[in-house]
């Protein structure tokens, strides 16, 4: 957590609540002009982003309501283009276009990326722009994994304004089938070995004619 995050998230109402709850002193240092801005994607952030197969994305509607959506795809579909830019190929969904419409009206966006097995999460704030597939086919092709059957309709390009590695408190440990596969493969192998051993023992114990 550092200055860029605090400047965005610590609104007057938030600061007042921190003061009321007694935590203002703990966070004052993040608003210090000498504090590191933490608005760039380094090697740790790039590796973390590249390992994800989905993230939560919040946009803001014209009525002021937030809209949170899960965006999924092949692992690494959210890409780090440079230290200040993220982008992903956007695929057809239910065709409500809530996120797309919101971003065209207000480009502010917030992402939460979660590594459930290791209880780690990264929050990103930024400004997004929509790039149609016909407007920049080279960019969309660069972002699209040809092995993924869905066809991208556009690209979403996000200029990072702030980021924050969030604490793991209250974050549950969860595993996908892909993440469990090594352990499951080992169990299947052990089961097959035991089944073969059991069959051999039954054969040895069978009465002779």
Which DSSP string do the residues of 10-54 spell out, in sequence order? --HHHHHHHHHHT-HHHHGGGGSTTS----S--HHHHHHHHT-SE
Report the predicted TM-score, pTM, of the whole model to 2 decimal places.
0.86
Contact 111, 57 (CB under 8 A): yes
Q: 132 pLDDT band (50/70/90 cuts)?
A: very high
Q: pLDDT digits over 56-113, tens only?
A: 999 999 999 999 999 999 999 999 999 999 999 998 888 899 999 999 999 999 999 9
Pairing assessment for the beta strands 85-91 and 152-166 based on DSSP bridges: antiparallel
Give the whole-number percent of the chain exceeding pLDDT 90. 77
Domains of the chain plus CATH, in order, are 1-36 (no CATH), 39-182 (2.30.110.10)
Q: What average pLDDT does this structure show over 36-59?
A: 94
Q: Is 141 or 32 the better-scoring residue by pLDDT?
A: 141
DSSP of 111-138, one letter per residue?
EEEEETTTTEEEEEEEEEEEEETTT-HH
């Amino acid at each position: 957590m550092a200055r860029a995050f605090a400047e965005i998230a610590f609104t007057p109402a938030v600061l007042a609540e921190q003061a009321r709850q007694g935590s203002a002193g703990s966070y004052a240092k993040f608003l210090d002009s000498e504090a590191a801005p933490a608005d760039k994607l380094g090697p740790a952030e790039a590796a973390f982003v590249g390992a994800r197969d989905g993230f939560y994305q919040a946009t803001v509607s014209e009525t002021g309501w937030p809209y949170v959506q899960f965006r999924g795809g092949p692992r690494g579909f959210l890409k780090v283009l440079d230290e200040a830019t993220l982008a992903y190929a956007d695929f057809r969904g239910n065709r409500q276009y809530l996120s797309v419409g919101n971003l065209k009206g207000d480009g502010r966006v917030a992402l939460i990326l979660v590594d459930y097995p290791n209880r780690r999460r990264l929050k990103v704030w930024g400004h997004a722009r929509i790039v149609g597939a016909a407007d920049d086919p080279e960019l969309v092709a660069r972002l699209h994994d040809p092995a993924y059957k869905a066809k991208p309709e556009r690209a979403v390009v996000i200029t990072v304004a702030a980021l924050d590695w969030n604490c793991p408190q209250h974050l549950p440990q969860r595993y996908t089938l892909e993440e469990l596969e090594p352990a499951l493969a080992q169990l299947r192998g052990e089961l097959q070995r035991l089944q073969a051993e059991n069959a051999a023992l039954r054969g040895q114990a069978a009465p002779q004619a």
